[in-house]
Structure 1
Amino acid sequence: MKKGEQTRQHIVERAAPIFNTRGFSGTSIQDVLRETGLEKGGLYNHFKSKDELALEAFDHAIQLLRTAHKEAQQGRKGVLDRLQGIFEVTLRSALGEVMPGGCPVLNVSVEADDTHPQLKEQAQKAALSLQNFIAQVLAVGIKQGELKPELDPEATSRVLFALFEGGILLTKLHDNPEYLWDARNHMMALLSLYRREA
């Protein structure tokens, strides 16, 4: 990687936690300069605007989330164990262990809904990607005979994603992960209705 690319990556890695914690409107260029140790001219050598940096910082946060999900799936067998892995990453995300500030999808969705169309579009893509990941896990569970074919993977993935994101929101609001554990237990109860007997 060339020096310019390394500097750009350094900026993104340092800026992502700031944007994810303070939001787009709450993050100033001064915050980024302070965190990266760069002068304003050095920053603008790599990014034309705060918007461009925010979009790349969000992509970086989402990539960390995807990596965490991929790692959490290693060695897991069976649909319920794989969904438990997804839950564990969701819990870690809510607690700021994947990225400081919590779940980037939730954070950007709340802030950018009416204020930043490009960030909202990025959040929509990330949310759909995570929903599709859950749907694939469920579809494999049906194919392998663990779940009944009546279960709709796409619709169920939307419900589970909503449960988890709602659980993250309430966990952050009340500083209490019990809300996410309730979401996890509800997920398991829902899927138990569709489990095939061995």
Structure 2
Amino acid sequence: MDELLPKSERTKQLIVEKTAPLFNMKGYVGTSMSDITTVTKLTKGSIYGNFADKEAVALAAFSYNTRMRANAIGAHINKAKTYKDKLLVFSTVFNSKHNHVFPKGGCPLLNTGIEADDTHEDFRKAVSDELKQWKMDIVTIIKKGIEAGEFRRNVQVEQTAWSIIALIEGGIFVSQCTKNPAYLDTVLETVKDIINSIVIGRKKQ
């Protein structure tokens, strides 16, 4: 909590930080106002004094969760020395040994995206924006890797980026539904294969 913020902003920040794990684990529909007042120790009036409605709280919580997720991934990417290793972060940071670094409840993109579907357009757009940003982050790494001579110049950059994302999110979905994290680890090996296949000096698998 940033003590330098005005009291109203500190209260809003507290609400977001306390409810972020709640929404990520129970979802928008599964989270009641009673849940929110319980975890924040604030009254319903105080909640609505800072947010227009429950949806506004949920969107702010989603933004917070995705920021925590991005920071966790970014910290690993920044430590990697080569562009290949930066890409390979995506094949390791999500695995069953490391995924504790993410917000409680798992991947907020998958959780919110599944719940949004056709019923909560604002949530769908928020997830869409995050997915597109993730894609751009991967595209940037691949393009820089091509310029640095690490990756083949004929790489289908956007196709590769979306394939990595789809495999990761699909693997998370399968592992969550089956309660078997080993399935995600198996899928992440395919992500690793895709990354290795674009490295100069390696034959495409």
Q: Tell me, yes or no, whether TM beats 0.5.
A: yes
2:180 is the alignment partner of 1:179: no
Per the alignment, in what secondary structure is the counterpart of residue 195 of structure 1? coil
Equivalents in 1 of 2:97, 2:170: separation in Å? Answer: 13
Aligned to 2:11: 7
Match of 2:76 among 62, 72, 78: 72
| Counterparts of 2:140 and 2:23, CA distance in 1 | 30
2:63 aligns with 59
Aligned to 1:130: 134
CA contact (8 A) 2:19 2:39 kept: yes
Amino acid of the structure 2 residue aligned with 1:121: K
Q: How do 1:36-55 residues align onto structure 2 when only pairs under 5 Å count?
A: 36-55=40-59
Tell me whether 64-73 or 174-183 shows the greater mean CA deviation. 174-183
Inter-CA distance 124–174: structure 2 relative to 1 (3 Å threshold):
same
CA RMSD of aligned residues (A): 1.8
The CA distance in 1 between the partners of 2:97 and 2:24, in whole Å, is 11
Q: Which runs of 5+ in 1 are unaligned?
A: none
Shift of 1:49: 0.3
Q: Distance in 2 between matches of 1:32 and 1:149?
A: 51
Number of equivalences: 198
Who is 1:158 aligned against? 162
* Deviation by residue 1:50-85 (Cα, 9 ceiling, x = unmatched): 011111111111111111122111221223311222
Please name the residue that 2:143 is paired with.
Answer: 139
Q: What is the percentage of aligned positions where both structures have the same residue?
A: 31
Instruction: Decide whether the 8 Å contact of 1:93 with 1:102 is kept in 2.
Output: no
Do 1:146 and 1:195's aligned partners in 2 also have CA atoms closer than 8 Å?
yes
Q: Deviations over 1:139-198 (max 9, x none)?
A: 111111111111121111000000000111112122222222222211222233322129
**TM (normalized to structure 1)?**
0.93
CA distance in 1, matches of 2:87, 2:74: 12
Q: Is the 8 A contact 1:112 1:120 kept in 2?
A: yes
Gapped runs of 5+ residues in structure 2? none
**Of 32-41 and 140-149, the range deviating more from structure 2:** 140-149
TM-score under structure 2 length normalisation: 0.90
